[in-house]
C-alpha cells in the first residue's frame, strides 16, 4: 500500500479523492454563522439514533465506501447535553469501525480530553480554520463563539500534540482579503512544521445556499487558482491542497485549479451536507472531466501517518489499503 501510494504522489497528473459517506449526529449548533447552510437551532431537530445509523451503514458495505465522515453541529461546551452529544459521536465512530469503515470526525471545537478519546476510534479528524482575522467576529462570526481564531488554532495544535492526522482549511469569500489568506496559510504551515500532522488543506469557496441567514455573494471562482497557487507557495509540500469539485462548477476552471497545484478532491459521496444545494459529481463523471489527469481513490488517512494508528485502526487501514491498491 505505502509504496503504491508514494509512487502515485510522484506523478504530477494524479488527483485523489476519498469514497465517502457523511453521517450527521445532529444539525443543531450553538454558533450562528450568517453563511451557514447546515445548522438548525438547538432543540429544533432530532439527534441521529445508533439504530438508524446502523441501517444506513449496512446499505453502504457493498458500495466501495471507505470513509465515514462524522459531521456534527456543535453543542455548547457547558450544555447539560454535551456529554450525551460526545458519547453519540464516539459510539457512531465505534459503529462505523465495527462495520468495516474508516471514521473521520469533524465536530467543531473539542476539548483536549475529547480529542484524545476520539483518536482511539478515528483514523483522522478535521476542523476548518476558515480565516484567522479577528475582524470576522464583527460580521459573519458575530454570533459564533467557537469561531474565535485562537480557539481554532489551539485545536490544530492539540491535534498535533496527540498525533492525530488532521485536515483543516480556509473558507474563501466571507469578508477576508488576500492578505488574510496569506496569514492563515502561514499559521497552518507553522503548526505543521512543528507537529507534522496536517494531511491536507481545503480551499473552500463560499457558495450561497437556500438556508443561509443573510444574502451574501459567492466567492469569485476565477480567483480560486490564485488562492491555490498562494497556498502551494506557502504550505509545506507534504500537505495536499484539496478543492471541492461540486463547488467549482466549470470543468475548465476545475482543470485550472489542478494546474495551479490542487491535488485532492476530498470525500465524494451522495450529498454534500455543508453545501446541500450543490450535489456531488460521481467519480466516473469526474474522471471524464479530468481528461489527462488520473483520478485515484485514497483512504481518509495518508500513508505517512499509518504509524500513528494502533490496534483496530491499524488493522482496518491495512485491509482498506490492500483493497485500494488492488483497484489502482
Quick one: which of 58, 55, 70, 54 has its CA closest to 21? 70
Q: Which three cell numbers stand for residue 304?
A: 505517512
What does the alpha-carbon distance between residue 81 and residue 93 come to, in Å, rounded to a whole number? 19
**The C-alpha cell of 308 is what?**
500513528
- For residue 276, give the nearest of 66, 71, 32 by alpha carbon: 71
Euclidean distance between CA atoms 273 and 260, whole angstroms? 27
Burial environment of residue 122 by CB neighbours within 10 A (0 to 12, 13 to 18, 19 or more): buried
Using CA atoms, how far apart are residues 50 and 266, in angstroms rounded to an integer?
26
- For 220, other C-beta atoms within 10 Å of its C-beta total 11
Q: How far is CA 316 from CA 145, 166, 260, 312, in A?
A: 36, 18, 34, 6
pLDDT in tens, the chain (328 residues): 444 444 444 357 999 999 999 999 999 999 999 999 999 999 888 999 999 999 999 999 999 999 999 999 999 999 999 999 999 999 999 999 999 999 999 999 999 999 999 999 999 999 999 999 999 999 999 999 999 999 999 999 999 999 999 999 999 999 999 999 999 999 999 999 999 999 999 999 999 888 776 777 899 999 999 999 999 999 999 999 999 999 998 999 999 999 999 999 999 998 999 999 999 988 899 999 998 999 999 999 999 999 999 889 999 999 998 887 776 6
What pTM was computed for the model?
A: 0.94
Instruction: Measure the CA–CA gap between 97 and 102, rounded to whole angstroms.
Output: 6
CA atoms of 161 and 311, how far apart (whole Å):
20
- Give domain 11-327's CATH architecture: Alpha-Beta Barrel (3.20)
CB atoms within 10 A of CB 276: 13
Q: Do 123 and 309 touch, CB atoms closer than 8 A?
A: yes
Residue 239 DSSP SS3: coil
Amino acid at each position: 500500500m505505502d509504496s503504491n501510494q508514494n509512487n502515485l504522489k510522484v506523478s504530477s497528473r494524479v488527483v485523489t479523492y476519498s469514497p465517502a459517506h457523511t453521517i450527521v449526529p445532529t444539525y443543531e449548533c450553538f454558533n450562528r454563522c450568517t453563511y451557514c447552510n447546515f445548522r438548525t437551532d438547538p432543540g429544533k431537530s432530532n439527534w441521529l439514533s445508533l439504530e438508524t445509523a446502523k441501517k444506513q451503514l449496512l446499505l453502504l458495505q457493498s458500495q466501495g465506501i471507505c470513509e465515514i465522515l462524522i459531521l456534527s453541529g456543535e453543542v455548547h461546551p457547558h450544555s447539560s447535553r454535551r456529554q450525551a452529544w460526545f458519547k453519540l459521536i464516539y459510539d457512531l465512530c465505534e459503529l462505523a469501525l465495527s462495520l468495516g469503515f474508516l471514521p473521520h470526525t469533524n465536530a467543531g471545537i473539542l476539548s483536549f480530553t475529547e480529542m484524545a478519546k476520539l483518536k482511539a476510534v478515528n483514523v483522522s479528524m478535521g476542523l476548518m480554520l476558515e480565516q484567522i482575522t479577528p475582524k470576522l467576529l464583527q460580521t459573519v462570526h458575530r454570533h459564533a463563539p467557537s469561531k474565535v481564531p485562537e480557539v481554532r488554532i489551539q485545536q490544530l495544535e492539540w491535534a498535533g500534540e496527540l498525533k492525530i492526522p488532521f485536515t483543516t482549511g480556509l473558507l474563501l469569500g466571507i469578508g477576508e482579503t488576500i492578505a488574510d489568506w496569506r496569514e492563515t496559510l502561514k499559521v497552518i504551515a507553522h503548526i505543521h512544521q512543528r507537529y507534522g500532522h496536517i494531511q491536507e488543506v481545503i480551499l473552500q469557496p463560499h457558495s450561497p445556499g437556500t438556508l443561509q441567514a443573510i444574502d451574501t455573494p459567492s466567492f469569485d471562482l476565477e480567483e480560486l487558482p490564485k488562492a491555490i497557487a498562494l497556498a502551494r507557495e506557502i504550505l509545506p509540500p507534504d500537505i495536499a491542497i484539496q478543492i471541492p469539485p461540486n463547488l467549482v462548477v466549470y470543468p475548465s476552471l476545475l482543470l485550472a485549479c489542478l494546474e495551479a497545484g490542487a491535488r485532492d478532491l476530498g470525500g465524494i459521496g451522495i450529498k454534500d451536507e455543508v453545501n446541500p444545494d450543490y450535489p456531488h459529481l460521481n467519480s466516473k463523471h469526474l474522471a471524464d472531466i479530468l481528461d489527462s489527469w488520473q483520478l485515484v481513490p485514497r483512504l481518509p488517512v495518508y500513508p505517512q501517518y499509518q504509524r500513528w494508528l494502533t490496534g483496530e485502526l491499524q488493522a482496518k487501514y491495512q485491509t482498506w489499503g490492500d483493497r485500494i491498491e488492488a483497484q489502482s
